[in-house]
Amino acid sequence: MIDNRIRTLSALVVAAIAGVLIGAFLPLASMLSAGQERPYRAPRTADGTPDLNGVWQAINTANWDIQGHEQRQGPLLQLGAAFSIPAGEGVVVGNEIPYQPSALATKHENAAKWLTLDPEIRCYLPGIPRATYMPYPFQIVQTPEHLLFAYAFANASRVAYMNVKVEPQIDTWMGYASGRWEGETLVIESSGFNDQTWFDRAGNFHSDALKVTERYTAVSRDALQYEATIEDPKVFTRPWQMKMPLYRRLEQPSRLWKYNCVEFAEEVVYGHLRRTPKATR
């Protein structure tokens, strides 16, 4: 009789404890489920679209090398650590760029001669998507018909025309951009590029057949998820993609400072044209 009472009491205690645990778990499970069902929704502009206005910046090592890489010595020993390359995980999905064999050889040649060939050295406009992840901020200014992207490096800029298909007239450094909204995501398709920009300092490059499809999605008030799909049948065997977060600059007031580097590159770009005095007889 006593054993039966003890067993009954033990069962009641276990049931009570289980009830308390389940009661505590259910609200948490409900919160997690609600969080999964309700992704972040950005504040709206006056026309009802997600508000991406602000100054943004990538924080990664993609400008050195968009693929994963170890740290390595810079090109000039005299500069010590000032121009060394920091290690980074890379931003290429799968960490593989599908070069055609001849294009891969060009990439390796570019990397070996980076210090003289990289368009950044010459302060050329950075192109897309490189302008997004150079180690400088950029600003988005949004209207219903247009989005202006202003970049610090080389005073670069571009305009994305919303809900209008823009046909390239000539090849340009920053391309021709057409934009649209897909729910919470800003999608920009750009083409009409020249072949004078690189993706990074590691020599990754493209041709004038480049097409870039970008996707900007707010994941919080101060962060965007950025994706860029690269297509170039002259250089790559298939499309490939980069992904990275972009972060809002929180300084108040937040402003974009220009980096007009042209004057620093004049000797590199035009030095060979300098008139030299004729030898005296």
What is 41-55 written as a DSSP string?
---B-TTSSB---EE
Q: What is the pLDDT of residues 177-208, one digit of tens each?
A: 999 999 999 999 999 999 999 999 999 999 99
Region 8-20 average pLDDT:
49
pLDDT bracket for residue 152 (50, 70, 90): very high
- Nearest-angstrom CA–CA distance, 39 and 184: 10
Per-residue confidence (pLDDT) for residue 270, from 0 to 100: 78
Predicted structure pTM score = 0.83
**Which residue type does 115 have?**
L
Per-residue confidence (pLDDT) for residue 78, from 0 to 100: 85
66 contact partners, CB below 8 Å, separation of at least 6: 90, 91, 92, 97, 199, 200, 202, 204, 242
Q: What is the mean pLDDT of the chain?
A: 88
